[in-house]
Amino acid sequence: MNERPPQPSSLPSTQPEDDFISLFAEVFGLEKAQLLAPEFPVLDIEGGARFIDFALRADNKWIAFEVDGPTHYQPPAFDRNKYEDDLLRQNSLIHQGWQVYRWTDHELDQHRERVKEQLALFLERVPGLLDMDDFLPKQRACKADFNLRTHQSEALDWLGSIRAEGTTIALLGHATGSGKTFTAIEDARRVGQPVLYVAHTKNLIRQTERAVAEQWPEVTTGVIQGGRFEPDAGFVLATVQSLCNRLSDIDPACFRYLIIDEAHHAAADSYQQVLAYFRPVFTLGLTATPERPDGKPILDVFRDTAHRLSLKEAIERGELVPIRCVRVKTNVDLSRVRFNAIQYQRKDLEQAITIPARDELIVQTYLDHVRGRKAVTFAVNVRHGEALAERYRTRGVPARAVSGRMPSRERDEVLDAFARGKLHMLCACDLLNEGWDCPDIEVLLMARPTLSKIIYLQQLGRGTRKAQGKECLLVFDFVDNAGRYNQSWNVHRATGNPQYRPGGFVAAPKDRIEEEALTGPQDPLILNLGLWTEHYEEIDVFDWQSAIKDMLPVAELERQLAASEGYLRNKVLQGELEPDHDLALGRRRYFYFAKARKQAIADQFGLKPVIAANIRERFFAFCEDMDMSASYKPVLLLALLDSVDDEGKAQLGELTSAFRDFYLQRSNCGLPAEKGKLRMTRVTELSESEIQRLILEMPFKKYAQRGFVDYARDLAQLRIVPALWKRLDANDHQRLREIAKTRIDEYFQR
């Protein structure tokens, strides 16, 4: 087979990257954009190294986003080999189970609203977007078989003992009858509430709810099933399907204890969604059948699906080696390097970073402190990696540059030479080879600034594997000058540890830290540094990506306070409202507010949130006083009232027809369908999808902004929210029709 040369990322420049990240952030929030992994490495079906423009993990799914330039497949620049190579890459992804979505840079620039609508549609059924944590260790898990009718106390003792040893997932086999219920409830009581119990039938839910009431009477119970949604109780019981339908409404970390009954169903997609989504302290599976029909142990399904240990947890539990750090400050200025939510602009970064003086500092650091140790230097790009490798070689260090874009045979030869000790240094510009592992790496030189936590942690993961005789991983963080919002990730931020001592532990088991505090370092790797001090330096580990997670974006604050779209944003821009965080990323500024300020902001500007008690009154006030630069809002109200069923729901297609018919009727009567150059003046030329987009982009958003209606994209269904719908009677419907017709008449008579 002829080896196919690796191809670069399909993104032709940084602007499409910025556009995609900006659109993604507008749909899902800036905090969710942090979960995108740019230029993510994979292997195709022929074993070739590939890179996905943006990768995303969601419950048990892997999603790839690709952006193509306009010249890729058009004459005269059309390249058949490039076209066929792209097909191989994307077919390989689909074969490996990836969901693949593609846009052109033209779409991202010129059709932003359409791309946002598509993004929302494609990910509508995805309940939780997750960290790319597959490189971290799995949770510890154990299984045991007990006759739980007669040996409940032994089972409880066993569960307590394995927890004390760091096990966080347990499977009890041969668990049938009332004994399993007693054991699960009692163990959950010992760990503490809140508890989530998941089963696949209503009968199991009812039986277990009765058992909880008898055995643990002081705990409150709630149910997620059918029309009941009670996630705030101390002991929540849920059917798996009802739970999956509402996952996005529940905090992944809200339960301490998760019970999966009839755990042999765990391989089903619904159960895997639940296992992947929640982050409990302890998970217990109950099953009468510890093996699946395909022979794969159920315990493996739990471990493969559940969230991984965090880096800090894995190190403290001894699953990974401790990390020490030396910070090396440079005089390189990153303050003028443009950046978006997850990365610096590539060209700006390359110009700022790839300078000889900084490269010499990197090489000299290795020579002065850890010469001869097996190490990896992470570089900015391929050219930077090659330049660093050449500089190392001229100083007598056996070094090679390595990249996923190298021909696979050459790359494998380099990696093999490094593994066998013939090379001391690898200079890598990406995450190396998927699946490649060299546990005896002792040193990482983090010379590539990155705003992506995913990229930094995956680079760090290359050195945290345990190996015989390996006491720790030593990280050299090269610290360039940057502002608070554009500082690169470093090991102190990644572990949340603000205390720095050159060569000291950043993360380690507690007993190791206590021992070193008493005796000083014993490891020759650290003693030879010549940098050890007894005093710590405080490091700013501010992480705006984490800081905004529990804050309100300005658009969400506007929605919760029933303000018109853009009202509070304009107050910020006019200097009347101070946000807690003001981020200028790409083309857009993002404003975030602490939740505790919501009432004060409402009082400051006289805003009154829409709540169940006032929703009917506020809805009528909105309909009577709506500002109108077009007729769309009252026409949508009429169309909605004509289309809704008994539950206040309307199919988008039926609603669109009613909306369009209003303007067609005016046109057929010789009246202008709309005024001026508004889109509905061309009602006879517009397609159904164009009218649907107009409805969703304009009048619908005005109602939804105040919490009166919502839209289920996957069902193509609009709905008057239940809190409002149940408060409207037939007389209200008639009054609303009259209000809408009056507003329409007033509009066209102006």
Q: What is the pLDDT of residue 59?
A: 64
Domain 14-130: CATH architecture, name and number where available: 3-Layer(aba) Sandwich (3.40)
C-beta atoms surrounding 339 within 10 Å: 23
Distance (Å) of CA 575 to CA 4, 570, 578, 579, 705: 57, 9, 7, 10, 23
Q: What is the pLDDT of residue 296?
A: 59
Torsion over CA of 540, 544, 549 and 554, rounded to 10 degrees? 140
Half-sphere exposure for 312 (CA within 13 Å, toward CB): 11
Query: Over the stretch 537-591, which tens digit does the pLDDT of each residue have?
Result: 676 677 777 788 788 989 889 988 988 888 999 999 999 999 999 887 766 788 9
**3-state secondary structure at position 614:** coil
Q: Domain spans of the chain?
A: 14-130, 141-307, 316-545, 550-605, 615-749
Q: What is the pLDDT of residue 548?
A: 82
Q: What is the pLDDT of residue 121?
A: 74
Q: What is the pLDDT of residue 6?
A: 40
Q: What is the pLDDT of residue 527?
A: 53
In whole angstroms, give the CA distance from residue 693 to residue 656. 10
Q: What is the pLDDT of residue 130?
A: 60
Q: Do domains 141-307 and 316-545 have the same CATH topology?
A: yes
Residues of the chain with pLDDT under 50: 1-13, 293-295, 433, 532
In whole angstroms, give the CA distance from residue 89 to residue 3. 14
Q: What is the pLDDT of residue 426?
A: 95
Domain 141-307: CATH architecture, name and number where available: 3-Layer(aba) Sandwich (3.40)
Q: DSSP of 308-320, one letter per residue? A: PPPHHHHHHTTSS
**3-state secondary structure at position 301:** helix
pTM of this prediction exceeds 0.75: no
What is the fold, at CATH topology level, of the domain defined by 316-545? Rossmann fold (3.40.50)
Q: What is the pLDDT of residue 586?
A: 64
